[in-house]
């Protein structure tokens, strides 16, 4: 599976949009982009995934560039409860997830 | 509905003892994954199953680690002759399989080897 690069940490003001970038320049055609987050010591929580089109669900939006070499996870109105480590993962069908270091998002009041 | 469950939630054992960690996946989920997570790091893949068949065990660190899923539902991860370096959070995840890739994680078992 392709590797991903994410900033180590980010801050966001409560109520504002949080935009978390991810680079995956070696992504191959059959690999999806997944986003998970981990709040404190809880298990990783699925957020969203996509192949090449932008995706939106009740939690977030995923914007994937046309060349698929990078993506951005958008939390439209961040709350304090969104403080977590966010993992961007590239994976092909049925495979294990390879977690990198993730981005530690701190939402501040 | 019920999510992935794991037991025990906490396990303290002495070095040299064997431990068995249990994972009960979401009902109907075909694929089951085991990960290990050290403090401050992301989960690291250990092994996974489709139904009862172990598909990939490349992440198991050595032959003291083994896993089984005999009836294609509950899985057990066994660590023989535990060592202090085995101390970690052990996480299980399951997915519907057959192209449904999203993995849902359980709460984990925290293992401490003294």
Q: What is the DSSP string of A48-91?
A: EEESSS-EE-SS-EEEE-TTSSEEEEEETT--GGG-EEEEEEEE
Distance (Å) from the alpha carbon of B28 to chain A's nearest alpha carbon: 16
Name the DSSP class of B77: E
Residue-level pLDDT at A94: 65
Q: Which of A22, A42, A97 best probes binding to B when mutated, by most B CB atoms within 10 angstroms?
A: A97
Residues A47, A50, A53, A55, Cα dihedral to 10°: -20
Q: Are A41 and B89 within 8 A, CB to CB?
A: yes
Q: Name beta bridge partners: A96.
A: none
* pLDDT per residue of chain A (109 residues) written in tens, 0 to 9: 668 999 999 999 999 999 999 999 999 888 999 999 999 889 999 999 999 989 999 999 999 999 999 999 999 999 999 999 999 999 876 678 889 889 999 999 9
Question: Which of B42, B50, B101 lies closest to A100 in CB terms?
Answer: B42
Whether the CB-CB separation of A64 and A50 falls below 8 Å is answered with: yes
| Residue from B34, B30, B32, B31 nearest B21 by CA | B34
Q: Which three-class secondary structure state does DSSP give residue B85? A: helix
């Amino acid at each position: 599976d392709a590797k991903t690069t994410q900033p180590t940490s980010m801050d966001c003001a409560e109520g504002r949009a949080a935009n978390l970038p991810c680079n995956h320049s070696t992504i191959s055609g059959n690999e999806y982009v997944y986003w998970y987050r981990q709040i404190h010591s809880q298990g990783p929580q699925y957020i969203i995934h996509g192949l090449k089109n932008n995706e939106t669900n009740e939690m977030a939006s995923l914007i994937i560039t046309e060349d698929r070499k990078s993506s951005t996870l958008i939390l439209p109105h961040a709350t304090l409860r969104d403080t977590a480590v966010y993992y961007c993962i590239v994976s092909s069908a049925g495979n294990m997830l390879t977690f990198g270091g993730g981005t530690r998002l701190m939402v501040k009041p | 509905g019920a999510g992935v469950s794991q037991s025990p939630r906490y396990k303290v054992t002495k070095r040299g003892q064997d431990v068995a960690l249990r994972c009960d996946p979401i009902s109907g989920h075909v694929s089951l994954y085991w990960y290990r997570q050290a403090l401050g790091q992301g989960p690291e893949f250990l092994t996974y199953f489709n139904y009862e068949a172990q598909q990939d065990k490349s992440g198991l660190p050595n032959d003291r680690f083994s896993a089984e899923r005999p009836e294609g539902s509950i899985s057990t991860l066994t660590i023989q002759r535990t060592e202090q370096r085995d101390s970690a959070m052990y996480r299980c995840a399951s997915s519907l399989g057959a192209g449904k890739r999203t993995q849902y994680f359980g709460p984990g078992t925290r293992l401490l080897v003294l």
